Copies of this chain bind each other. A is one copy, B any other.
Amino acid sequence: MTGERFERGLKTLTEIDGEAGHRVLDALADVSPALGEAVVSWGFGEIYSRPGLAPRDRQLVTLGMLTALGGCEPQLDVHVNAALNVGLTPAEIVEALLHSAVYCGFPKALNATFTAKKVFGERGLLPVTAE
């Protein structure tokens, strides 16, 4: 877990996911450090660090994917935080999840919205108001 790629990945992970990203790495340390290394070095050091898509845009795509996959509430929690960290507003996040009802149906849209509500509550961002 050293080298230029890992360092760049850790820096990007810290900027985007903040503390939550580090908690995931810590939790992996005694069971699968190699998975943590892959998240940092490949996911963040190689893919997230590419200039072709803005951090805000990456989080919009990611919110769509995690909502559609289903069963990824822990990762949605991290990425609703990440979305806020890179400049998406609560109202935009909520609108993206409303939009997801068209493509994924209401159950997945509801699960994702309640995960967002939990994060907004923790960050003192409730109630969400239109801009």
Contact = CB atoms under 8 A, between A and B. Distances in A.
Copy number in the complex reads 6
B103 A106 contact: yes
Contacts of A29: 127
Interface on chain A toward B: helix, strand, loop, or mixed SS? helix
Contacts of A120: 31
27 contacts: A28-B110, A32-B97, A34-B50, A35-B98, A38-B98, A39-B106, A42-B46, A47-B99, A52-B92, A52-B131, A53-B96, A57-B92, A58-B99, A60-B61, A60-B64, A61-B99, A63-B64, A64-B68, A65-B65, A66-B107, A69-B103, A69-B104, A70-B71, A70-B72, A75-B103, A102-B106, A103-B106
